[in-house]
């Protein structure tokens, strides 16, 4: 067998590789590449499961980052922001993943989970504590007193080298999330309304055709958003260092991403629409509202640009279809046949699956009055929210001196008081980038780059074919006829 390091650069697409990523560009120049037909849904957990099993969600069961548990009548939604997902209690010999501790007094203590257990103490001694606030939330991807903008990805990269030095695994799976946060905050390219003749010498991303007709017209030029130039340089430095490190140890390197992120400007509140029809039930708790999934006739579990619609009352299916099909920003709706065609026909999937247009995305919001929003809505709380919430990347601009509010809350926590870090806004229009649908332009698709030219037989591969490429690189075979 030959050893291999798979570096997952979240959100990387070919147009982002250029003057701000000289290390990745050189690796691309010396190797072979393929665009990956995005997994569907184009979400972290689903894509990684496609890559590592060679199967579709209909078989591996990972239909999103989270789903409704019909037996427990609750949404089990988990943040898809880990090193490589589903590594706890897996067959991996060595694993590291963020996992906070939750003492009975209500505190949240940042920590990691490792296997073997001994790694946890040893790696924290050598690398320091994992910078959890820099991993997800308003401190992720920006310089703060909690750490540099790239602190989380840097720690992960160093942990990969630490594991390699200590254990020399045959296969290393490395997850670098640095690009993900600011691509969602700011969007990958300059918005169309911002383009002008004065764009100057901005780097450009090429788009073939248009969302409505991907084959039509000549490639359009879209300047890369200057807000992410620094992020590109930072991730390039981390990736370049890892490439040099592993290649110096005769380890093959495979770069890939899970999805491409596209600009968005339209949040869609599906659960509010369902509630206005009288189909969604909320429970009043301390004058705030909680979604009651089991008592709702219909509700949605929103995950970026995909939403699983669960019908507890199947007599409403046609009415739900009619409502969603005429909702602006909803590009498609899948029933049984559509799910089968896309490989999503699994019991965990929604009865219907809504797909947003490229410029839109789905929120989990279900309250009609912000004063009734649950207390966790204004916090970073991936466990209680019945859906993904990228607004957690922002501090509320409506709070005067919001950073002083954060410092006050941290002081309360240090002094042992109960506190609520209620600094997250409820304004979904702040989000400028998303993923989940399959972009019309292949330039917005994820990419795979190998330093072994023979590893990539075609310029375009299915997400499930990544498995065979990894397998054959490790097995040392020279060609890549994909196994059935």
pLDDT tens track for 456-481: 989 999 999 999 999 999 887 654 44
CA dist 17 and 13 (Å) reads 7
Structure tokens that stand for 1 in this block: 């067998």
Residues 225 and 127 in one domain: yes
Q: Which segments within 265-351 are labelled E, that is strand?
A: 266-268, 282-285, 288-291, 298-303, 306-311, 330-334
Q: Picking from 13-27, 105-119, 211-225, 288-302, which range would have the lowest pLDDT averaged per residue?
A: 211-225
Tell me, what's the pLDDT at 216?
A: 34
Output the CA–CA distances (angstroms, integers) from residue 215 to 191, 192, 210, 440, in the order listed. 22, 20, 8, 9
- Here the CATH number for the domain that contains residue 20 is 3.40.720
Residues 214 and 146 in one domain: yes
Residues 283 and 254 in one domain: no
Residues 340 and 407 in one domain: yes
Residue among 132, 235, 131, 130 at smallest CA distance from 183:
235
Tell me, what's the pLDDT at 221?
A: 60
Residues 320 and 420 in one domain: yes
**Number of helices and strands in the chain (H, E):** 12, 22
**Which residues make Cβ contacts (< 8 Å) with residue 140, sequence separation at least 6?**
133, 134, 152, 181, 393
Tell me, what's the pLDDT at 122?
A: 96
Report H helices in 368-442: 402-414
Output the CA–CA distances (angstroms, integers) from residue 351 to 273, 295, 301, 313, 337, in the order listed. 17, 16, 11, 11, 11
CA dist 39 and 37 (Å) reads 6
| Each residue's pLDDT tens digit, 317-332 | 999 999 999 999 999 9
Contact indicator for 30, 23 with CB cutoff of 8 Å: no
Average pLDDT over residues 424-447: 97
Instruction: Give the number of C-alpha atoms closer than 13 A to the C-alpha of residue 276, restricted to the C-beta side.
Output: 10
CA dist 195 and 262 (Å) reads 16
| Each residue's pLDDT tens digit, 97-142 | 887 777 776 667 778 888 888 999 999 999 999 998 888 899 999 9
Tell me, what's the pLDDT at 42?
A: 84
Helix (H) or strand (E) segment spanning residue 107: none
- How confident is the prediction for the chain on average, in pLDDT? 87
Radius of gyration of the chain (CA): 22
Tell me, what's the pLDDT at 90?
A: 54
Using pLDDT thresholds of 50, 70 and 90, give the confidence band for residue 198: very low
Tell me, what's the pLDDT at 195?
A: 45
Residues 179 and 252 in one domain: yes
Number of domains in the chain: 2
Helix (H) or strand (E) segment spanning residue 232: helix 229-248
CA dist 156 and 470 (Å) reads 21
Q: Is there a domain that residue 67 lies in?
A: no
Higher pLDDT, 295 or 205: 295
Q: Is there a domain that residue 202 lies in?
A: yes
Average pLDDT over residues 422-443: 97
Q: Picking from 59-68, 151-160, 185-194, 312-321, which range would have the lowest pLDDT averaged per residue?
A: 59-68
Q: Is there a domain that residue 66 lies in?
A: no
Residues 244 and 337 in one domain: no
- Here the CATH number for the domain that contains residue 389 is 3.30.1360.110
Where in the sequence is the domain holding 10, given as residue range(s)? 4-43+80-263+438-475
Q: Is there a domain that residue 244 lies in?
A: yes
Q: Picking from 91-95, 155-159, 218-222, 270-274, which range would have the lowest pLDDT averaged per residue?
A: 218-222
Structure tokens that stand for 345 in this block: 């026909």
Domain stops at, among 396, 414, 431? 431
Higher pLDDT, 74 or 451: 451
Tell me, what's the pLDDT at 91?
A: 66
Using pLDDT thresholds of 50, 70 and 90, give the confidence band for residue 74: low
Question: In this model, does residue 302 exceed pLDDT 90?
Answer: yes
Tell me, what's the pLDDT at 141?
A: 94
Residues 233 and 88 in one domain: yes
CA dist 271 and 429 (Å) reads 17
Tell me, what's the pLDDT at 208?
A: 41
Tell me, what's the pLDDT at 19?
A: 94
Average pLDDT over residues 388-410: 95
β-bridge mates for residue 35, sequence order: 447, 460
Tell me, what's the pLDDT at 390?
A: 97
Using pLDDT thresholds of 50, 70 and 90, give the confidence band for residue 483: very low
Question: In this model, does residue 48 exceed pLDDT 70?
Answer: yes
Residues 251 and 128 in one domain: yes
Question: In this model, does residue 219 exceed pLDDT 90?
Answer: no
Question: In this model, does residue 482 exceed pLDDT 90?
Answer: no
Q: Is there a domain that residue 483 lies in?
A: no
Residues 18 and 151 in one domain: yes
Structure tokens that stand for 70 in this block: 């019909």
Contact indicator for 335, 352 with CB cutoff of 8 Å: yes
Residues 182 and 229 in one domain: yes
């Amino acid at each position: 067998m030959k050893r291999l390091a798979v570096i997952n650069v979240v959100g990387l697409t070919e147009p982002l590789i250029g003057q701000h990523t000289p290390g990745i560009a050189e690796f691309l120049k010396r190797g072979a590449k393929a665009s990956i037909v995005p997994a569907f849904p184009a979400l972290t957990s689903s894509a990684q499961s496609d890559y590592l099993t060679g199967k579709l969600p209909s078989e591996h069961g990972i239909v999103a980052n989270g789903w409704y548990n019909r037996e427990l009548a609750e949404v089990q939604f988990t943040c898809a922001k880990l090193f490589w997902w589903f590594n706890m209690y897996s067959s991996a010999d060595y694993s590291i993943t963020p996992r906070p501790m939750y003492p009975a007094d209500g505190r949240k203590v940042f920590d990691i989970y490792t296997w073997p257990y001994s790694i946890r103490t040893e790696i924290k001694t050598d690398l320091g504590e994992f910078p959890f606030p820099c991993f997800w939330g308003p401190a992720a991807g920006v310089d703060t007193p909690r750490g540099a903008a790239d602190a989380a990805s840097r720690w992960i990269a160093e942990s990969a080298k630490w594991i390699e030095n200590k254990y020399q695994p045959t296969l290393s799976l490395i997850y670098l999330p640095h690009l993900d946060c600011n691509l969602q905050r700011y969007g990958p390219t300059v918005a169309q309304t911002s383009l002008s003749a004065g764009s100057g010498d901005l780097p450009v991303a090429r788009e073939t055709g248009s969302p409505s007709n991907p084959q039509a017209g000549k490639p359009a030029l879209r300047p890369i958003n200057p807000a992410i130039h620094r992020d590109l340089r930072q991730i390039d430095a981390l990736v370049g260092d890892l490439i040099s490190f592993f290649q110096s140890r005769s380890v093959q390197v495979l770069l890939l991403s899970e999805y491409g992120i596209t600009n968005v400007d339209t949040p869609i509140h599906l659960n509010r629409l369902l509630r206005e029809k009288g189909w969604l039930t909320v429970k009043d708790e301390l004058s705030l509202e909680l979604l009651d999934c089991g008592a709702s006739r219909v509700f949605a579990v929103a995950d970026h640009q995909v939403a699983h619609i669960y019908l507890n009352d199947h007599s409403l299916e046609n009415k739900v279809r009619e409502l969603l099909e005429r909702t602006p920003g909803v590009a498609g709706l899948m029933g049984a046949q559509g799910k089968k065609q896309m490989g999503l026909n699994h019991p965990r999937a929604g009865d219907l699956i809504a797909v947003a247009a490229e410029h839109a995305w789905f929120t989990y919001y279900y309250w009609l009055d912000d004063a009734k929003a649950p207390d966790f809505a204004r916090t970073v709380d991936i466990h209680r929210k019945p859906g993904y919430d990228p607004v957690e990347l922002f501090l509320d601009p409506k709070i005067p001196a919001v950073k002083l509010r954060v410092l006050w809350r941290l002081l309360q926590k240090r002094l042992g008081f109960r506190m609520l870090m209620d600094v997250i806004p409820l304004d979904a229009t702040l989000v400028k980038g998303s993923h989940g649908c399959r972009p019309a332009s292949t330039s917005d698709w994820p990419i795979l780059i190998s330093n072994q030219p023979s590893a990539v037989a075609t310029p375009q591969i299915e997400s499930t074919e990544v498995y065979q490429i990894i397998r054959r690189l490790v097995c040392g075979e020279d060609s890549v006829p994909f196994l059935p």
